[in-house]
Structure 1
Amino acid sequence: MDRKTYTAELASLRELRTEITAAEKVVATAQKELDRLTGQRSRRVAGLAGYEGAQAAPIAKASGLTLADIVRIAPLLDPTPAAVREARPAASAVPVPVAEPAAQPVAVVAPAVTQQPAPAEFAPVPADQAVPVEQPVEQPAAPAAPIAAPATVAVVQPAAVVEGGPRVLPEIPQGPAGDRFAAVTSGLVSTRPNFTQQTRVTVFLDVAAGELVAREHTLRLNLGAKSPGEILDAVLAAAPGTERIYVTAGAPWHEGAERYSTLKDAVAAWLNTPSQRWTTATGAGKDKLAGHFVHQRQPVGRYAPAADPKSVVEVRSIGEWFDTGGADPATCRDAFRLLWQALRRYFDDAVLMGSPSQTGRDLWTRTIPTKGKWAGGYPVMSQELRGLLHATGGQGRTELLPPPRVPQQLPGLVEFDATFAYGKQTWKSGVGAPRRVTARAFAAMDQAAQAKALMACSHWHIRVTVPQGWDHVGLLPAPVPGDRAWEYPATGGATFTTWAGGAEVHLALTNHLMPWKVEVLDGLIWEDGKPIDDWGKKLKAAWADLTNLSKLHGDERQRTAAYLASRAVRSILLFGIGGFAQRPRTVTGTTPIGEALPAGVEILGQDENVVTWQRSTGFSRDPNAHPEWAARVWSGARTALLSMKMREDDVMVGALHLPAHSIVAFRTDAIYTTADVTWPYHGQPGEFLKKGHLPGPVAAPTTLEELLALRDLGRAHYAQGGNR
């Protein structure tokens, strides 16, 4: 080829490039339209599943999908007879083709690291609701010869429990099936809303005292036998237009609970007490508030007047937001008012919704960026990945360490509580589709890359061995029988397979006591982002404002109200993060006696009129489902509970910096220990506050009830100036 020909070919190549770019734009536009249409089809299929007589076959024919596709979108339409489904072998035992041999899991070596006036109504109608410390650096081991991949795939539903053995966690399969895990759901993104939430007229009711606070008025009511109908009649007569009733004291749903075998049965019976004037709300239009939510202590009753079934009045427990500590309804009203005022300083369109979770998620959606890479919204992970995170992303650490881990007689018991612990963990989260890192790929990384991978927003499938001679608490969670139950092995030589966040794995490898052996089996790494950072900062600012007000206000009632409001902000963040996890949704409902029950329901109870039931509807197409964010926050909080550096003070704090065998228990963000240490405290999120001290000798607790009793005694003693 001569120079002239070369130049001509370059020009031709540039022309071809232009044509390819134009064609790519056409394809992208077509793909976007295809995604929109397929998403619309899926929503319509899911909607059709709500009809009791719906069948998968005609829906499949009409939609152009296979029966398998229909059942995947709407599991309730599975036409397989129940007996056949029950007789099927477990999915984890079904052989599947092996796309490629898997590399031998590789032991990870410890990488080197460097260290306005308030409104009369408070809450809106939800738009949609259905019911390191440095270690010597070793050279990485050479990858072992590949071994055959196991010919099974663990299912990503609630993890299996082997008879007499531990719960078996899911894993990512090889080949195309595994590719679906490292993907996002087509056509499903979290977007900023273009509407303002509506408010709901809210009142506060002490059922025990019959005291109602509606706006600025305090009234005395006769609630009769305290059935739902009597409460609604009395409240609506005194405060017409009421749409939400917060019960601040009295728990009417526990009336006559001794007549029932379980507290849940008692609550269900109370919620469904017959009334001539009131019926269970069924919802209408965009307002899908419908049906009761049966919970032992914080139920939600949704009722509609028989003459106007589209109107909805909710009866809820204020315990969803905070423990009143005996505060009267007027103080609770003032707490909600202060809460709204504090949030409006940081969220222009803040409206308090029925629950902290709903409020937290609504406020978060209003922080979704309008500029930059994620201006179009944050993509939602694939259903497979959401299921995996649901089964493997544990929440707070709850563990009791009885004798012989601690002495039978404790020299004392000290409680350290991490202030607003989850608030410290919102600064970074993973965004976009994750990148899968196999054992072979991890082994091919150099030490710096391995450390970077672990410190990124990541989730790892690992095999762990506790080092011989280890004499402190466990560092990594291991599954045990029971839904989402975990333990923390600490016996030298113990080996287990689990999933854990990168922060926890990094701590196990780099802790100052003794590095653990960790073999990487698989992993997922997300791009580092800040999707909940702005939301978290604003909530922490509101919390700080209310906390300061609770200490400085001249009026005792307002100090109490401000304190309750600060606890409500904590609940908004705590339950807002839990809402990102999007557990499989459970719907409760009632059916008149004699009528056919919906398919797949679990009966909770019945009376002479109705059967109360619940059923799981699985993972919905929730545009705000982000379990990857919740898992990272929870993993970070569990890590900080063990070891955290207070940079301003240059001090390491956490359980690993207490003497071995001094740890009595962990409860989410609290450490109970016999060691009375002095850790710096500045009132910032994540810092450990000494909240209780009970002098010894104290019998070591062996049950949760005993621990909580000692906690209460320790808090009371400390509040009176003991052991300060």
Structure 2
Amino acid sequence: MDAKTYNAALAELRADRDEIKKVRTALAKLEAARDKKIRALTGYEKASADRIAPAAGLSIGDIVKIAPVLAPASLTAAPDGTVDEAQQTPQAPAVETGPTHDAALAPAGAGHTAAPSAASAKPERQGAPGAGAPAPGAVARELPAIAQGEEGDRWFAHTPNLASTHPNFTQQARSTVFLDTTTGILVHRDQTLRLNLPDTSAATILQAVFHAVPEGTERIFVTAGDPWHHQAEQHPFLKDAVAAWLNTPIPGWRTDTGRGKDRMAGHFVHPRHPVGRYQSDNGQYHVEIRSVREWFDAEGADPTIVRDAFVLLWKALRAHWGDAVLMGSPSQTGRDLWTRTIPTRGQHADGYPVLSEELRGLLHATAGQGRTELITPPRVPDKLPALVEYDRTFAYAKHTWKSPVGTPRRITAATFSAWSEKEQVKALYGCGHWHVRVTVPDTWNHVGILPAPAPGDRAWHYPAAPGTTFTTWAGGPEIYTALTNPIQPWRIEILDGLLWDDGKPLDDWSKKLKEAWSTLAAQAQLHGDPAQRQAAHLASRAVRSLLLYGIGSFAQRPRTVTGTTPRTHERDVPPDAEIIGFTDEQITWQRPTGFSRDPNAHPEWAAAIWSGARAALLSQRMREDNTYVGALHAPPGTVVAFRTDAVYLTAPQNWPYHGQPGDYLHKGHLAGPIPAPTTEDELLALRDAGRAALKQTATATTGQA
């Protein structure tokens, strides 16, 4: 083959690729429409997977994956003859507890009722669909373990010359404007202007803003309009529409490639909160377009109120950080503020070292975030007597008082077994991340407690079927809850683990944010001007985002870089990149870059907080009221769903609320009978209706008073 033939073949290959992309897009639309019809069929009480499967041209297993409620009984039964995991893993000690909430922990045979040995443990099986279990036929993810022997021992170290330290510079504020792309209202400092926006393309926005603000701006916050969705109907997925909006060529502008120490170069493709980064061809201007919804839901507020919210936020933070600067996102800002609480003298003056890449990778794979679970019939009634929402106020702030510090120790099954009961109790109540084998009690009749890997990237479910045995990783707070819950202790066997010293690296940062939040929340209640009350409310929500997303940023996920390449330079696309879109002018691609040398990467902190928050959804002590709250303190069969900080029940609970971080706020109440939700969309629709109904009831009650 000569060069001419080779190049001609490449051209044909590109044409084939483009045609395949178009066909796949059309196929994705057809499959989405088909799946929607299948889910709609579940509304018929006699609908069955075996009737729908041939009509859809799918297997029964495929139908059940799309609509788990259609799972036939023969598929939900536990399989017989499953290989006993105990025969494949070295026997580990059983951790037992007595029946009371304050019972001590003990190794097997140490005085409490003897548990079955690891060798006699029940076969590993999953709970039935509706319990957060994967659909029948699906293969659960297998979580990684610590490498055996010296190789695993080498993981227990820190990355050389990489630590979080107090910054020696001051962040520079960026000129910011606030734009409602629906109305064209633009707020710049104390000026309010109305722009003429014939369309909402990035080119039109940049041209209009820089015409109205000739001296230039560095950040455009879109308060309403979501311009990146304006051609969503032309794409199968929102992310495709966003990528097309960001990457449409703009005369006089190009994608910003970064400057100085700014690592936030290039566009960030996100379906709802994208970031467009542009620089003028002459290099004079650098500007980013981003959504204010990264910070809070503007709730219909005009750009002036949104601007006032950011001013109030900045003032509240300045009361605690004299050098506070609001950056583009709450995660950037929150983490920057945290670095300014790192001690410069005394303990930790040298900073907080970053764990080895192996341990960071292990935590990334084994530490989930918020609990999201929908429990469907028959575990809840087909018709719910009510749907009551309880949402934990500023929840993560409740779990920052203690965090792991230093280099963790490896605690093997043999080491744990050799410890005294007191040492085991201290370890499990401390800052640890544990590889465990779990058995649900044979008479269990409530929701699951510990997360287990489910099919899908980073997906988790919560087995609750009696007698289920599974292997997973979990944090200390969840292990504690499983062992001391108010119903019945679960059987926990320690296989391996990480154990850190207790410390307070986030305590000062969190306290300052909580004080700023309290100040703004009080203004939102007491200010005489309704507009300022709304601005203060939005600012208090922004403080919540600072802590929430600041904690998330510590997790440091492996990064994916998105880029564009002109079609005329197609050979310059990185060889490991995945092409995610293209036009006649350019190709959009993304590729994984792994873990960066981020000095503020501390997934151990995020994992500990997330574990504490998930545990508090189940059981939390209200000290001043001397009572317990959470899902496990509601009657069996009344829990409908969990969503990160919220739990949805079929009946109201007498849970005290003082407006403090972690308290359960009665946020929604929809009277029944209500069809039990079977999809997330149905749950969210009922949630919104419940919030509106409770608000209406509160307004009516206030009016009568």
* CA deviation after TM superposition for structure 1 residue 254, in Å: 1.0
Specify the SS of the correspondent of 2:568: coil
Matched with 1:598 is 574
* CA deviation after TM superposition for structure 1 residue 459, in Å: 0.2
**Distance of 2:204 and 2:172 partners within structure 1:** 27
* Matched-pair contact (CA < 8 Å) for 1:103–1:440: no
Specify the SS of the correspondent of 2:662: coil
- The structure 1 residue matched to 2:487, chosen from 506, 513, 522, is 513
Matched with 1:283 is 258
- The structure 2 residue matched to 1:343, chosen from 311, 314, 317, is 317
**Distance of 1:136 and 1:364 partners within structure 2:** 37
**Distance of 1:146 and 1:396 partners within structure 2:** 30
- The structure 2 residue matched to 1:140, chosen from 108, 130, 143, is 108
Specify the SS of the correspondent of 1:542: helix
* Matched-pair contact (CA < 8 Å) for 1:453–1:525: yes
Counterpart check, 1:306 vs 2:281? yes
**Distance of 2:373 and 2:568 partners within structure 1:** 46
CA root-mean-square deviation: 2.1
* Matched-pair contact (CA < 8 Å) for 2:279–2:287: yes
* Matched-pair contact (CA < 8 Å) for 1:103–1:145: no
Matched with 2:233 is 258
**Distance of 1:637 and 1:591 partners within structure 2:** 43
* Matched-pair contact (CA < 8 Å) for 2:95–2:105: no
**Distance of 1:145 and 1:322 partners within structure 2:** 51
Report matched runs for 1:364-383 at 5 Å: 364-383=338-357
* CA deviation after TM superposition for structure 1 residue 103, in Å: 5.3
* Matched-pair contact (CA < 8 Å) for 1:581–1:627: yes
Report matched runs for 1:110-509 at 5 Å: 110=97, 133-135=101-103, 140-141=108-109, 164-239=138-213, 240-308=215-283, 311-509=285-483
**Distance of 1:484 and 1:459 partners within structure 2:** 17
Matched with 1:108 is 95
- Measured against aligned partners, the alpha-carbon deviations of 1:445-489 in whole angstroms (never above 9, x if no partner) come to 111111100011000000001010100000000100111100000
* CA deviation after TM superposition for structure 1 residue 280, in Å: 1.0
* CA deviation after TM superposition for structure 1 residue 529, in Å: 0.2
Please, what TM-score do these two structures have when normalized by structure 2? 0.81
* CA deviation after TM superposition for structure 1 residue 700, in Å: 0.8
- Measured against aligned partners, the alpha-carbon deviations of 1:69-120 in whole angstroms (never above 9, x if no partner) come to xxxxxxxxxxxxxxxxxxxxxxxxxxxxxxxx985211111279xxxxxxxx
* CA deviation after TM superposition for structure 1 residue 250, in Å: 1.0
**Distance of 1:641 and 1:448 partners within structure 2:** 27
Matched with 2:603 is 627
- Measured against aligned partners, the alpha-carbon deviations of 1:12-61 in whole angstroms (never above 9, x if no partner) come to xxxxxxxxxxxxxxxxxxxxxxxxxxxxxxxxxxxxxxxxxxxxxxxxxx
**Distance of 1:519 and 1:710 partners within structure 2:** 40
* Matched-pair contact (CA < 8 Å) for 1:135–1:512: no
Structure 2, unmatched stretches of 5+, are: 1-87, 120-134
Report matched runs for 1:647-662 at 5 Å: 647-662=623-638
Supply the AA of the counterpart residue of 2:592.
S
* CA deviation after TM superposition for structure 1 residue 233, in Å: 1.2
* Matched-pair contact (CA < 8 Å) for 1:229–1:277: no
**Distance of 1:288 and 1:140 partners within structure 2:** 52
Matched with 1:63 is none
Supply the AA of the counterpart residue of 2:488.
M
**Distance of 1:408 and 1:288 partners within structure 2:** 51
Supply the AA of the counterpart residue of 1:135.
A
Matched with 2:19 is none
Supply the AA of the counterpart residue of 1:714.
G
Counterpart check, 1:532 vs 2:532? no
Matched with 2:36 is none
* CA deviation after TM superposition for structure 1 residue 138, in Å: 5.8
* Matched-pair contact (CA < 8 Å) for 2:93–2:108: no
- Measured against aligned partners, the alpha-carbon deviations of 1:373-431 in whole angstroms (never above 9, x if no partner) come to 21100010000000000000000100000110111111111111100000100101000
* CA deviation after TM superposition for structure 1 residue 162, in Å: 14
Counterpart check, 1:693 vs 2:678? no
Please, what TM-score do these two structures have when normalized by structure 1? 0.79
**Distance of 2:538 and 2:695 partners within structure 1:** 18
Alpha carbons of 1:163 and 1:170: their partners in 2 closer, same or farther (altered >3 Å)? farther
* CA deviation after TM superposition for structure 1 residue 137, in Å: 6.4
Specify the SS of the correspondent of 1:721: helix
**Distance of 1:355 and 1:283 partners within structure 2:** 17
Supply the AA of the counterpart residue of 1:104.
Q
- The structure 1 residue matched to 2:684, chosen from 693, 696, 708, is 708
- The structure 1 residue matched to 2:543, chosen from 564, 569, 577, is 569
**Distance of 1:408 and 1:162 partners within structure 2:** 22
Supply the AA of the counterpart residue of 1:141.
G
Specify the SS of the correspondent of 1:337: helix
Alpha carbons of 1:214 and 1:139: their partners in 2 closer, same or farther (altered >3 Å)? closer
**Distance of 2:255 and 2:513 partners within structure 1:** 35
* CA deviation after TM superposition for structure 1 residue 139, in Å: 6.0
Supply the AA of the counterpart residue of 2:108.
P
Alpha carbons of 1:445 and 1:385: their partners in 2 closer, same or farther (altered >3 Å)? same
- Measured against aligned partners, the alpha-carbon deviations of 1:232-279 in whole angstroms (never above 9, x if no partner) come to 111011112211000011111111221122211111111112221111
* CA deviation after TM superposition for structure 1 residue 134, in Å: 2.0
* Matched-pair contact (CA < 8 Å) for 2:98–2:489: no
**Distance of 1:705 and 1:220 partners within structure 2:** 36
Supply the AA of the counterpart residue of 1:602.
E
Matched with 1:612 is 588
* CA deviation after TM superposition for structure 1 residue 320, in Å: 0.5
* Matched-pair contact (CA < 8 Å) for 2:559–2:593: yes
Supply the AA of the counterpart residue of 1:167.
R
Report matched runs for 1:36-47 at 5 Å: none
Alpha carbons of 1:382 and 1:245: their partners in 2 closer, same or farther (altered >3 Å)? same
Counterpart check, 1:677 vs 2:645? no
* CA deviation after TM superposition for structure 1 residue 136, in Å: 7.0
* CA deviation after TM superposition for structure 1 residue 226, in Å: 2.0
Alpha carbons of 1:206 and 1:136: their partners in 2 closer, same or farther (altered >3 Å)? closer
**Distance of 1:434 and 1:162 partners within structure 2:** 38
- Measured against aligned partners, the alpha-carbon deviations of 1:111-150 in whole angstroms (never above 9, x if no partner) come to 79xxxxxxxxxxxxxxxxxxx8223766633899999xxx
- Identity value in percent: 62
Alpha carbons of 1:163 and 1:386: their partners in 2 closer, same or farther (altered >3 Å)? farther
**Distance of 2:630 and 2:458 partners within structure 1:** 25
- The structure 1 residue matched to 2:620, chosen from 627, 634, 644, is 644
* CA deviation after TM superposition for structure 1 residue 504, in Å: 0.6
Supply the AA of the counterpart residue of 1:546.
L
- Measured against aligned partners, the alpha-carbon deviations of 1:613-649 in whole angstroms (never above 9, x if no partner) come to 1111001110000000000000000011100110011
Alpha carbons of 1:555 and 1:492: their partners in 2 closer, same or farther (altered >3 Å)? same
**Distance of 1:167 and 1:286 partners within structure 2:** 38
**Distance of 1:164 and 1:491 partners within structure 2:** 17
**Distance of 1:435 and 1:372 partners within structure 2:** 24
